[in-house]
Chains A and B, each alone.
Chain A
Amino acid sequence: MSNIDPKVLRHRVESINTLPTVPSVLKRLSAVIEKPRITIVEISAFISNDPALTTKVLKMVNSAIYGFPGRIASVSHATMLLGLNVIKGLLLGVSVFELMQKTMSGLYEHSLACAIASRVIAQKKGMKEPEEVSVAGLLHDIGKVILTLEFAKEYEAAMGEAQEKRISIFEAEKNQFNATHADVGSWLAEKWRFPRNLVEVIEFHHRPALAKNAPMEAAIVHMADLLARARGFGFAGENFVPEINPMAFELLKLSDQDIQDVLQEMEDNMESAEDLS
């Protein structure tokens, strides 16, 4: 059983800007996006001042994850088109991807597949901002990145326990940390002043029925996560497909054909998306 106090855990996660294990680029980014009144112009300037970051952001916005491949030439165009929240999420996405590849091999592919599936389902459901749902899909497991970085030994133990007892990583995390990657991710998303909906999706992607403000978005990412695992794209801590939440499934009302389409879109886009890092 765990002896980590969730309050201490939360405090440590929220001090991300000073954690020695967190790379400086992520600290700098974290300091920028947590500002209460950051403007599109400031964030655009922050990206443009860093050539490596600019390249990554442009590559990402021109990729299959979003709906406009190969059409966005500048950072200012991208920020105007996608809006502050999507850009903030995307910046984090490109910055944590490298970390993902170091800390949990396969988490990057899993997150990409989930982002693609989230966008496709959001479009099928006629959501106003499919890109926001896609970013939620991209970042839903961000808690795992911080946990593996800061608590490498304990997380290793959780993954071992999941494999040995044939339980989900979500359950194993509870045993190790008295909290889950969903909690950790939502603490970070709050600290970074993400919109309420995105915080909820990260917090409740395993328990979508609890999402009060964004039940549809949470159901979409829940389903996208499940389909990415079902198809076997990437690795997210263990290899088991989680059980679908029946309420979420009934809310989504996806036909068999819809599910086939989502799988096909993931298939078509994963190969090229894997070149994004």
Chain B
Amino acid sequence: MPKFSVNQLEPGMKLAKPVMAKNGMVMLGEGTELTEIWIERIQDMDIHTVFIDGPTVQTLSMEEALSALDERFALVEDKPYMKNIKKIVKQHIEGLYE
């Protein structure tokens, strides 16, 4: 789910995470569809970004992410259970790019 600056919001976008006040109280719930009025209210709160539904853009390419994973596991590949743990993490990372 991508993060948007409060100035980039448009009506019709859906909140992927609740909008919270500084003290952590929920002001708008997860799944709320934004309207002009909600956007105005959000801009009047002291917050900078909100989470909007949709795929997150990964900062690394999948190849880069997987080669970093290999490097992280380099010292422990052949230790007990580590092969399986690595396999699960690898599947998880690949899943982020689907």
Q: A: which residues have CB within 8 A of B?
A: 54-55, 58-63, 69-73, 166, 168, 226-227, 229-232, 239-244, 246, 249, 256, 259-260, 263-264, 267, 271-272, 275
Chain A residues with Cβ below 8 Å from B3 are 271
Question: Nearest Cβ in chain B — how far from A145, in angstroms?
Answer: 23
| A69 and B18 within 8 A (CB) | yes
Partner of B56, one of A232, A259, A263, A271: A271
* In contact, B81 and A241 (Cβ under 8 angstroms): no
Task: Write out the residue numbers on chain B whose beta carbons fall within 8 Å of the beta carbon of A61.
Answer: 24
Give the number of A-B contacts (CB < 8 Å): 96
Most B Cβ at <10 Å: residue of A227, A232, A239: A232
A-B contact pairs, 9 of them (CB 8 A): A69-B18, A70-B18, A226-B85, A231-B89, A231-B92, A243-B76, A244-B79, A271-B3, A275-B49
Q: Taking the complex as formed, is B45 at the interface, i.e. its CB lies under 8 A from any CB of chain A?
A: no
Across-interface contacts of A62 in B (CB, < 8 A) = 20, 23-25
Q: Given A232-B69, A260-B88, decide whether A244 and B82 contact each other with a Cβ distance below 8 A.
A: yes
Is there contact, CB below 8 Å, between B72 and A232? yes
Interface of A is mostly: helix
Total interface residues on B, using CB and 8 Å? 35
| Prevailing SS type, chain B contact patch | mixed
In the bound complex, CA of A263 to CA of B91 (Å): 10
Residues in A neighbouring B24, C-beta threshold 8 A? 58-63, 70, 72
Contact flag A59-B23 (CB < 8 Å), given A230-B72, A230-B86, A259-B88: yes
Decide: A271 near B51, CB < 8 A? Known: A72-B24, A242-B76.
yes
- B→A interface (CB under 8 Å): 1, 3, 17-18, 20, 22-26, 49, 51, 56, 65, 68-69, 71-76, 79-82, 84-86, 88-89, 91-93, 96
Nearest residue, chain B, Cβ from A70: B26
Please give the distance in Å from B9's CB to the nearest CB on chain A. Answer: 17
CA–CA, A263 to B94, complex, Å? 12
* Alpha-carbon gap, A230 to B56, bound state (A): 20
In the complex, A275 Cα to B51 Cα: how many Å? 11
In order of increasing CB-CB distance, the 7 nearest A-B pairs are A62-B24, A70-B26, A58-B23, A243-B79, A263-B92, A59-B24, A243-B76
Q: How far is the CB of B70 from chain A (nearest CB, A)?
A: 11
B1 with A271: CB separation less than 8 A:
yes
Q: From residue A219, how far is it (CB to closest CB) to chain B in Å?
A: 13
CB-based nearest B residue for A74: B23
Closest to A78 in B: B24
Q: What chain A residues lie within 8 Å of B76 (beta carbons)?
A: 240-244
Residues in chain A near residue B69, CB distance under 8 A: 230, 232
Residue pair B92, A241 in contact (C-beta under 8 Å)? no
Query: Are the CB atoms of A249 and B81 closer together than 8 Å?
Result: yes
Which residues does chain B contribute within 8 Å of A232, judged by CB atoms?
A: 65, 68-69, 72
Partner of B89, one of A58, A72, A230, A272: A230
Chain A residue at minimal CB-CB distance from B80: A246
CA distance A205 to B22 in the complex (A): 33
Which residues in A have their C-beta under 8 angstroms from that of B17? 272
